[in-house]
Amino acid sequence: GAVVSQHPSWVICKSGTSVKIECRSLDFQATTMFWYRQFPKQSLMLMATSNEGSKATYEQGVEKDKFLINHASLTLSTLTVTSAHPEDSSFYICSPNVAGGSYNEQFFGPGTRLTVL
Amino acid sequence: GENVEQHPSTLSVQEGDSAVIKCTYSDSASNYFPWYKQELGKRPQLIIDIRSNVGEKKDQRIAVTLNKTAKHFSLHITETQPEDSAVYFCAATYQAGTALIFGKGTTLSVSS
C-alpha cells in the first residue's frame, strides 16, 4: 500500500498559538488531499478537500480562515490550525488520493494528536 | 450528500462467537464500501472492502455483504478473538477521488 507520513505525531501548544501539520505521500503522487479530524470516541469527520495547486473546499461548519490548507505539491500538503483553542484539540488525519487512480481505496496518514492548553 | 448510519455503537461478544455490524447509506450513487479497524491512537486500517457490483466478499474470518436495493452493508467477523477488540468504522463513497464518509463507529469488545 501507499506510504503516508504525518508530522508531528503529537503536539501540545498554548491557546492562541498556531500549529502546522505536514502530510507527505512518500511513494506516490496525490492530486487530492482529504483532511479529517477525530474527537475522542467519535468518528472521522471530513474537514476539507484540497487539490494540488488550488484552494481547498471546506465542509460546512469548518472555518477556512482558521484551518489553512496548502497543497502546493503532489507529495506535500499542510494544515495550519491558527489561533488554536482547547476545543481544537483533536486527532487530525490526512488522506491523500492517488493521482490518476481509478479505484477508491484511500490511504491515511498516522495522524497528529493536537492538545491545546 | 452521503450519510452513513452504523449500528450498534457497542458490541460485546465472547471469544469464538460471531460479531455483526450493520451500516446503511443514503446516496444510491455510492459504489465503494470499505470497513476500517482503528486501535486507540492509531490511524484506521482497511480490513475489507466491497464494490457495488459485488454482493459478498470474504477474507478468512471477515466477510462483508452488500444489499444495494436496501442500501445497507454489513461486516461479519466469525470466531472472534480478543485481538479483534477495537473500533470498527464503515464508510461509503461514490467515485474515485471523492472523500469517504464514515459511520459513527462500533466499539467491539471480545472477552476470553
Closest among A91, A90, A57, A97 to A74, alpha carbons compared: A97
pLDDT of residue A62: 96
Q: Suggest the residue from B100, B104, B107, B108 to mutate for an interface test with chain A (most A CBs closer than 10 A).
A: B100
Find chain A residues with C-beta within 8 A of B104's C-beta.
42-43
Find chain B residues with C-beta within 8 A of A109's C-beta.
43
Query: Which residue in chain A is spatially nearest to B30 when comparing CA positions?
Result: A104
Percent of chain B with pLDDT over 90: 89
The reply to whether A111 touches chain B by the CB within 8 Å rule is yes
The reply to whether A95 touches chain B by the CB within 8 Å rule is yes
Looking at the predicted structure, is the pLDDT value of residue A101 above 80?
no
Three-state DSSP at B97 gives: coil
Measured between CB atoms, which of B89, B96, B98 is closest to A103?
B96
Cell of A38: 477525530
Are B96 and A97 an interchain contact pair (Cβ–Cβ within 8 Å)? yes
Are A32 and B103 an interchain contact pair (Cβ–Cβ within 8 Å)? no
Q: Which residues contact B56 (CB under 8 A, 6 or more apart)?
A: B50, B63, B64, B65, B66
Give the CA distances from residue A21 to residues A93, B70, B88, B101, in Å, rounded to whole numbers and listed in that order.
10, 40, 26, 22
pLDDT of residue A103: 60
Are A105 and B34 an interchain contact pair (Cβ–Cβ within 8 Å)? yes
Cell of A84: 488554536
Q: How far apart are alpha carbons A66 and A47 in whole angstroms?
A: 12
Q: How far apart are alpha carbons A67 and A23 in whole angstroms?
A: 14
pLDDT of residue A67: 97
Closest among A1, A2, A3, A8 to A80, alpha carbons compared: A8
- The arithmetic mean of pLDDT across residues B88-104, rounded, is 90
pLDDT of residue A53: 82
pLDDT of residue A104: 64
The reply to whether A105 touches chain B by the CB within 8 Å rule is yes
b/e map of B80-105 (b: 16 or more CB within 10 Å)? beeebbbbbbbbbbbebbbbbbbbbb
Give the CA distances from residue A32 to residues A53, A99, B29, B96, in Å, rounded to whole numbers and listed in that order.
10, 7, 21, 10
Measured between CB atoms, which of B93, B98, B103 is closest to A43?
B103
Mean pLDDT, chain B, integer: 95
> What digits encode the pLDDT tens for the residues A51-94?
888 889 999 999 999 999 999 888 999 999 999 999 999 999 99
Are B97 and A45 an interchain contact pair (Cβ–Cβ within 8 Å)? no
Closest among B87, B82, B77 to B15, alpha carbons compared: B82
> What digits encode the pLDDT tens for the residues B57-67?
999 999 999 99
